[in-house]
Amino acid sequence: MTEAATSINSHDEIPFYQPTGNEMELFEYAFKNKLPLLIKGPTGCGKTRFIQHMAAKMNQQLYTVACHDDLTSADLTGRHLISESGTYWNDGPLTRAVREGAICYLDEVVEARKDTTVVLHPLTDDRRILPLDRTGEILHAPDNFMLIVSYNPGYQNLLKGMKPSTRQRFVAISFDYPNEDLETQIIINETKIEREHAEKLVAIASALRSLKDHDLDEAASTRLLIYCATLVKDGFPFRDACTAAIIEPLTDDEDTLKALHDIVDAFVD
């Protein structure tokens, strides 16, 4: 397994996930009909947690690959390695998922090199095959193999974007941050924090998100709210927790930091 890949066993405990629409039903229909799935949404809105939840719920092995600029097709499919006894072939996470009939999830797929995503094309049409040029194999994906990719549309630009020819090979779900009531409940379920604190964090996040595309490149995510609530639940001062878990991760600009502190101060007694 490459350093970029992690695996979750099907017998792991099912991670908590609070649905916001029909995404769970769509996932099950896509899996049943052997359709690849594309998930779009901002950072920290629950895309990865959703995949982990569904894989565990459906008792499927999950291979997750965190895509990056240096990710090559060999990192996905595999490569020959050298040992004391000679050379041997080592499957990458995509190949392993195809062989085993597992779910392969490529997180932030647009971060991968353009030539890397080409290897996905034969798996995303009616062929559902994975040619391994270096071994001469052609792997036919079993019925319970599923390919899932995700990306943040906010990072889309001319240099980093999914080609329409690739994007149109998937059925897609758009994720966003939950509404205030639902986000409050998610924070409570994740951290067991008091409702009063959870509601205050959600109100702060709502105010901060209004700055997105103006003073902030990225909005305050549900993930950051959970981090903050975790600190508060353990006894860390509320204002300091907001600084450490919400404000500082969002920006390095001094003027913007001050503006964010002012917003938090408006909600903190």
Q: What is the pLDDT of residues 39-93, one digit of tens each?
A: 999 989 999 999 999 999 999 999 999 999 899 999 999 999 999 889 999 999 9
Residue 241 Cα distances to 123, 231, 237, angstroms: 45, 6, 6
At residue 206, φ and ψ (nearest 5 deg) are -60, -40
Q: What is the pairing mode between strands 146-151 and 103-107? A: parallel
| DSSP tag of 71 | -
Judge: domain 5-174, CATH 3.40.50.300: yes
Nearest to residue 98, comparing CAs of 57, 43, 156, 138?
Answer: 138
For residue 254, with 0-12 CB atoms within 10 Å meaning exposed, 13-18 middle and 19 or more buried, which class applies?
exposed
Distance from C-alpha of 209 to C-alpha of 218, rounded to nearest angstrom: 8
Supply 232's token pair.
């508060």
Percent of the chain with pLDDT over 70: 91
Query: What proportions of the chain, in percent to the nearest 5, are helix, strand and coil?
Result: 45, 20, 35
| Crossing angle of helices 222-233 and 195-209, rounded to 10° | 150
Residue 140 Cα distances to 10, 19, 137, 217, 244, angstroms: 22, 33, 10, 42, 48
Distance from C-alpha of 256 to C-alpha of 53, rounded to nearest angstrom: 36
Distance from C-alpha of 41 to C-alpha of 110, rounded to nearest angstrom: 13
* Residue listed under structure tokens 């599923």: 146
pLDDT in tens, 235-255: 999 999 999 999 999 999 999
Which of 85-89, 101-105, 185-189, 208-212 has the lowest average pLDDT? 208-212
pLDDT score recorded for residue 210: 86
